[in-house]
Amino acid sequence: MDLLHITKRIHLLRRVPEHHLREAFEVAARVFTIGKGEILLVEGEVDDSLLLVLEGQVEVVHGDPPVQLAQLGVGELVGELALFDPGGERSATVRTLTECRIILMDGQGLKNLRERKNSVVPLLEQAAIRSQGRRLRQMNEQITRLAAGTPLASASPDGLFGRLKNLFGGGGFDPNPKEPAPNPLDVLKTSGPFKNMPEDQLKALAERLEVVPAPKGSFIIQEGDYGSDAFILASGKVHVHRATMTQQHEKIAELGPGAFFGVLSLIHGSNRSATCQAVEPSWLLKLTQENYANLQKGHSASERGFRQALYLALAFQLEQANDHVAYLVRTLVGKRNIGDKETKAYKLAMSGLTTYSGEV
């Protein structure tokens, strides 16, 4: 297949100089035709394959029994983990819904291209981050459609006396962290998404972070608001909630020290997709939009290390969201007496699994 046809199908590759694109296909990329119903990636297996859908359609399924989470079409990346963590386990199974033409790159091929400073790799990394962010947002929307939810806890102590103590600090009540402000570098060293960054890169990143307190009960992020900052939890505990169609809230995650959250608005410049509330006095490291932009656009080792951390944080959140959606679907389907309201909720949720067929 000629490169002109490939670049017409994969918008991302149009931005690659021709000599880099030819090198990519000589060194790392191969095109395969795969029949309908074939499994491309298997949940739980270690696999370093990166796939781009050139023609056809695939589905992503998760759990046992399997629940369909998404359908992906032309231009989509599949198996982006190979770019950032080749030894990681697949969090879902991918199989073809139609006959497909697939561009395949393996971990060694990507490594070879990176060593040659081929511009395909950083573009793929940026596309993978955007893709993960979009899929996470879609899964959060699925949770909204499926979950019944419960009322969200108040941001302040119950009752007038409790609120006055919160406001004026009376009666020995102190909503702020009791421990001293953390050293950002120490936090980054123990944070999972940043585990593979060398210390000199961590030091450079730590200098860009602002240390801020989060009082117990405070809302760090509120769903629907426009925000441009992301956070790393240095100490304490944060609960993540998503509003449901019943105007209640579904708890979708509990974050501990080292968690990197609030990144979707950084990536897509959109409104917050969930509410994050400190349920204990907490310390946060804040990353601003300006610093994010400076870290994201470059191709140095430090900037690539940051993209890796960003991807790993999104991948972890997406895996949790996938688990939650699969649980909610199985719960609805497994009920013997499904009411009209639940039946409609299930059908609506399933209708939300629309095919993405676009340009990466």
pLDDT per position as a tens digit, 71-98: 999 999 999 988 888 778 898 999 999 9
Residues 6 or more apart whose CB falls under 8 angstroms from that of 293 comprise: none
- Is the predicted pLDDT of residue 69 greater than 90, yes or no? no
pLDDT at 148: 80
Note whether 165 and 272 are same-domain residues: yes
Instruction: Compute the Cα dihedral for 349, 355, 358, 360 and give only its sign.
Output: positive
pLDDT at 297: 64
Q: Which of 323, 3, 69, 16 is nearest to 78 (CA)?
A: 69
Q: Residue 201 domain-assigned?
A: yes
CB 74 within 8 A of CB 6: no
Note whether 167 and 240 are same-domain residues: yes
106: its two tokens:
């393996």
Residues 6 or more apart whose CB falls under 8 angstroms from that of 194 comprise: 188, 202, 205, 260, 305, 309
Confidence of residue 348 (pLDDT cuts 50, 70, 90): very low
* 327: Cα within 13 Å, side-chain hemisphere: 11
Mean pLDDT of the chain: 83
Confidence of residue 156 (pLDDT cuts 50, 70, 90): very low
pLDDT per position as a tens digit, 24-53: 999 999 999 999 999 999 999 998 899 999
In this structure, how many other beta carbons lie within 10 angstroms of the beta carbon of residue 226?
Answer: 9
Note whether 288 and 157 are same-domain residues: yes
Mean predicted confidence (pLDDT) in 233-237 = 96
Note whether 276 and 194 are same-domain residues: yes
CATH number of the domain at 25, please. 2.60.120.10
Note whether 165 and 274 are same-domain residues: yes
Q: Residue 305 domain-assigned?
A: no
pLDDT at 93: 94
Q: Which of 280, 283, 177 is nearest to 232 (CA)?
A: 283
Q: Residue 103 domain-assigned?
A: yes
pLDDT per position as a tens digit, 179-213: 899 999 999 999 999 988 899 999 989 999 999 99
Confidence of residue 334 (pLDDT cuts 50, 70, 90): low
Note whether 179 and 288 are same-domain residues: yes
Is the bond preceding 65 in cis, omega lying within 30 degrees of 0?
A: yes
Q: Residue 129 domain-assigned?
A: no
Q: What angle do CA 236, 238, 243 make, to 5 degrees?
A: 170
pLDDT at 154: 56
Note whether 288 and 153 are same-domain residues: yes
Q: Residue 108 domain-assigned?
A: yes
Q: Which residue has the tokens 């210390």?
A: 199
Note whether 72 and 158 are same-domain residues: no
Q: Residue 102 domain-assigned?
A: yes
Confidence of residue 221 (pLDDT cuts 50, 70, 90): very high
Note whether 103 and 198 are same-domain residues: no
pLDDT at 326: 87
Q: Which one of 8-22, 166-180, 272-286 scores highest in mean pLDDT?
A: 272-286
Note whether 100 and 155 are same-domain residues: no
Mean predicted confidence (pLDDT) in 104-108 = 92
Domain boundary among 293, 314, 341: 293
The count of structural domains within the chain is 2
Residues 6 or more apart whose CB falls under 8 angstroms from that of 34 comprise: 40, 56, 96, 99, 100, 101, 102
Domain span at 109: 3-118
Q: Residue 354 domain-assigned?
A: no
Domain boundary among 67, 99, 118: 118
pLDDT at 26: 93
Q: In what order do the strands lie in the sheet with 282-287?
A: 210-214, 282-287, 230-235, 260-261
Domain boundary among 245, 261, 293: 293
Confidence of residue 168 (pLDDT cuts 50, 70, 90): very low
> Per mean pLDDT, which range of 17-26, 61-70, 149-158, 281-290 is the poorest?
149-158
* Helix or strand run (H / E) with residue 261: strand 260-261
Mean predicted confidence (pLDDT) in 317-331 = 87
Percent of the chain with pLDDT over 70: 84
Q: Residue 141 domain-assigned?
A: no
Note whether 210 and 79 are same-domain residues: no
Note whether 192 and 62 are same-domain residues: no
pLDDT at 82: 87
Backbone angles phi, psi at 284, to 5 degrees: -125, 150
Confidence of residue 360 (pLDDT cuts 50, 70, 90): very low
